[in-house]
Structure formats: C-alpha cells, structure tokens
Structure 1
Amino acid sequence: MNIKKLCQMQKVLDERIVKEHKLEGKDLEENIILALLVEISELANETRCFKHWSTKGPSENHVLLEEYVDSLHFFLSIANHNGYNVDRLLEVYTRDFKQTRDAMTLVSSFINVTEKVVTMKTANDAFHYIDAFAAYIDLGKILGFTWEEIQQAYVRKNEINHQRQDNGY
C-alpha cells in the first residue's frame, strides 16, 4: 500500500472540507478521533462478530471493506494533522517494536484497536499513533483484506467523499 499517496489524497480532502465549511483555525482532532471510533464500531457492527445472540451472518465483503476504509480516512487525517510520516513509523514499528501477538479473535481485535485509539488520544505521540494504526492493519488482515484491495477501496471512497462535498453533504 502506498500510504504516502493515501496521506496526500486525504490531505487534499481535509483541506477542502476545512475551507468549504469555514473551519480554519479550529482544532478538529477530537472530532476526528470520535469519528474514527464510530467508524470502527460501524465496521464491528457489519461483521456481527460480537452478536452471539443472532444467527444472521456478516455483511458482504465489499460492505466490510468500505467500512474498513472509512476508518482509514480518519487514521490518515490524524497522521497529517500531527505531521507523522506513516511509512517511516510503520517501518520502525515493525522492525523494533511490534511484538508477536497470539492469534486474536475478531472480537478481541476490535477491542484491541479501540483501546489503542483511546490510548493514542491520551498519549498524543507518534509511538501510540503507530501502535493503534498497526493494530488496525492487523484487523484488516484478520478480515482478509489485501493491501491492494484496501488501497483501491480507499481511492474509490475518497472520490465519493469529494462528490459528497460537491453536493453539499
């Protein structure tokens, strides 16, 4: 996945939103973190992985992928807001910090990502950002998404988000 390219695409969208909605000078980081948590929860809801009381299966894969990239938009916005070089952070994290994890269930993976996002907000540093982002990438792997699928879905959704801005979303 070309994260640099995705960060640049997200920056263009975020700058457009700030300008068109007259949000210059406003600190939107808490809004973005809450939006991230909501989107992760929407993804969990579509997987239905925690709904032990229901026999209905998960949504179709394309729906799950779209929900997954909705969260990716907000991870990239946070990186841009803080000036993080996500490619470099992932390289260092993978090389020096990432610990071998026991096989996680989908439910425990969602809980793990959510906990790490909350910790990221509190710590507000590059290490905790990349720890949360790496857990999110792991969630995508558990869901069976490839880097190529994620990037293609992100590009499609980014275009949709621009169209939504064109139409006064």
Structure 2
Amino acid sequence: MQLKVNDLYQLQNGLDEEIYQKFSLTREGTSIRRRLALLVELGECVNETRCFKFWSVKGPSPAPVILEEYADGIHFLLSLGIDLKDPSDYIASIEASEDLTKAYLKMYELCLDFHQHFDLAHYHQCFGYYLGIAQRLGYTAEDIREHYLLKNQENHHRQDTNY
C-alpha cells in the first residue's frame, strides 16, 4: 500500500498553524508533546482493536471506531513529517507482524526510536509500519485518507468551538 501524503501535509499544516496561532505556540515548541501524543493515540487505537485483551470475550470495536483512532495517529505522524520537511508524495507501507499484539509493540519501539533519532529515515520507518498495521487490520489507503479527512474536518470544528 502507498498513502498519498503531499496534500495531507498541506491540510495538516493548516490545522497545526490554526492551533499554534490560537494558543500562542510554535511548531518547534510542541514537537516533543506531539511525539508523546502519537504514542497516546497509538494506545487508543490498540485499545479499540482489543487484540491484547485475553481476559475478555468482547470483540474489537467496529471498523469506523478503529479507523477514527487510527486517523488520530496519522494526524500526529503528518505533523511530525512537516517538522522534518518530508518531501515525499507517498509513504509506502512496511509489512507488519500477523500477530497484532506483536505489531503494536513493534510500532511502539519504532515510535521511540523515531523520538530518539528525529530524522526522515526513522520517520519513514515509523509511518510505513503504521500503514502496515492498517493493512493487517484490513484497511486500504482510501480508508485511511477518508477517515483522516473526516477527522481533520472535525478537528477544525473543535478549534472553532473551543473544544
């Protein structure tokens, strides 16, 4: 899978700039908080899949719920890619483990590596593996784009209504 990102970077930058202006913040001043936010959103997505909840018979949340949480992670990945001035038009997926629990643990490792080595190589590895998880969940690039666009619109609305 390849996700077209050049236009998404523009949309994310618009949202980021709106937030920075509204709260008198800067891109540089929020970088570490956005890296942590990526980890938090990853956890929220994992929670909706319920892949680790061996003690429960309840299945995963419906696909739209998982995709909404997944899109939150895309927001922060795009925002961090803007920090790095990523020139990519597309990000290619990297195959994720068939075992979702292992895949998510690997994703956490990649996010932490990316935090420690804040560069394009680690960024692409992190983003690519995140796309691989989406594939493992049965989602397409179109699904991801659709839910990112919906969430971006919702986030603009939240800013307009002082969320």
**TM over 0.5, yes or no?**
yes
Any stretches of 5+ residues in structure 1 without a counterpart? none
Counterparts of 1:1-169 in structure 2 under 5 Å? 1-24=3-26, 27-87=29-89, 90=91, 103-169=97-163
| Letter matched to residue 6 of structure 2 | K
Closer/same/farther in 2, CA of residues 112 and 49 from structure 1, 3 Å limit: same
**TM-score normalized by structure 1?**
0.89
Give percent identity, aligned residues only.
Answer: 37
Q: For 2:155 and 2:96, how far apart are their aligned partners in 1?
A: 37
Closer/same/farther in 2, CA of residues 7 and 66 from structure 1, 3 Å limit: same
> SS state of the match for residue 159, structure 2?
helix
Closer/same/farther in 2, CA of residues 68 and 28 from structure 1, 3 Å limit: same
Deviation of 1:86 (Å)? 3.2
> SS state of the match for residue 46, structure 1?
helix
Deviation of 1:24 (Å)? 3.5
Any stretches of 5+ residues in structure 2 without a counterpart? none
Query: Conserved in 1, the CA contact under 8 Å of 2:27 and 2:83?
Result: no
Query: Conserved in 2, the CA contact under 8 Å of 1:79 and 1:86?
Result: no
| Letter matched to residue 2 of structure 1 | K
Larger radius of gyration: 1
Q: For 1:38 and 1:103, how far apart are their aligned partners in 2?
A: 21
Q: Following superposition, which runs of at least 4 residues in structure 1 exceed 4 angstroms of deviation?
A: none
Q: Aligned pairs, how many?
A: 161
